[in-house]
Amino acid sequence: MVIASVDGSMTSFDSEHSTSDISLRDFQAKIRAMYYDKDVQRGVDGTFMWLMEKVGELASALRQGTPEELALEFADVIAWLATIANVAGVDLSSALQEKYGSGCPGCGRLVCTCPMQEKP
């Protein structure tokens, strides 16, 4: 997907990947470009409040939203997580690799065999 940036150059979420797939690192960078100046002014606490609002909207959409509404609420929650990660200096892609890159963190398997109550 190619989009026009504010300075007229062309950019994309997925220039190296298949259509509609997103590199998490690219997405976090895009959210940083879009919102970082505002995010640092708001800080982690103020940004976390926005995340909680979006989590509430996700809960509502899971109960009674259309599939389209539900998808957009998931997108908002991930975007606000990326925003907080930017302010906190966390690379989400590396974090996921570290925790889940070798399989389930509990049992170490690609198909988890942990007891039901122990999913990590």
CB of 45 to a second copy, least distance (A): 8
Residues in the chain: 120
**CA atoms of 36 and 120, how far apart (whole Å):** 31
55-114 residues in contact with a second copy (CB under 8 A) are: 55, 59, 62, 67, 70-72, 74-79, 81, 84-85, 88-104, 109-112
* Residues sharing a CB contact under 8 Å with residue 27, sequence separation 6 or more, in sequence order: 13, 78, 82
CB of 74 to a second copy, least distance (A): 5
**Element housing 10 (H / E):** strand 10-12
Contact 73, 65 (CB under 8 A): yes
CB of 111 to a second copy, least distance (A): 5
Site string for a second copy, 17-56 (x = CB under 8 A): x--xxxxxxxx--xx-xxx-xx--xx-x---x-xxx--x-
Q: How many residues bind a second copy (CB under 8 A)?
A: 72
